Amino acid sequence: MEKKEPRGLRNNNPLNIRHGMSQWQGTSPHKTDREFVCYMSKAYGYRAAWKILQTYHRRCEEQQEPFCLRSILMRWAPPTDGNDTEAYIRRVMLLSGVGGQQILPAPNSKDGYQRLCPILVAMTCVENGIKPEAVQVHYIQKGYQMAFPHVRFKN
């Protein structure tokens, strides 16, 4: 029996972004999932994730909080939504090699891609129950380029 692809990957939404107020670029005209956004490609799914991280960075600055893995995941998968946020944080730390309190650069900075890409890889693993080698990093890079076309980055 063939194993079904994880929901986030079927939806081209590797980080399982929920429907909300945002009208995301690249949203699929075929809304096949009531809970999660469906995108036309995985690159568009990652583009949305990069834009969300940029918003989180801006909010951290406004609230004079550190922009770190913990602050990202407390917003991304809050305990108030029934998530085991602490387990999520531990798993992403383990998979990415990034400390929970380590200060991170703005996503749209020259080091943003390089420093945050391992976190997106790890989050993709957690969200879809896959191993890091199964993550198609070229989609993360393409999503970054779509989100921040003006930024030259090192990969």
- Work out the angle at residue 118's Cα, subtended by the Cα atoms of residues 8 and 7, and round it to the nearest 5 degrees: 5
Confirm if 70 and 87 have CB atoms less than 8 A apart: no
Structure tokens at 17: 């972004």
How crowded is residue 48: how many other Cβ atoms within 10 Å of its Cβ?
22
How crowded is residue 13: how many other Cβ atoms within 10 Å of its Cβ?
27
**pLDDT truncated to tens, each residue of the chain (155 aa)?**
556 899 999 999 999 999 887 788 888 887 789 999 999 999 999 999 999 999 999 999 999 999 999 999 999 999 999 999 999 999 999 999 999 999 999 999 989 999 999 999 999 999 999 999 999 999 999 999 999 999 876 65
Which one, of 23, 70, 30, 76, lies nearest residue 49 by Cα?
76
Please report where in the chains the tokens 């943003």 appear, as a residue.
Answer: 112
Q: Residue 58's Cα: distance from chain center in Å?
A: 16
pLDDT at residue 76, as a whole number: 97
Q: Which residues contact 95 (CB under 8 A, 6 or more apart)?
A: 118, 121, 122, 125, 126, 132
Confirm if 128 and 9 have CB atoms less than 8 A apart: yes
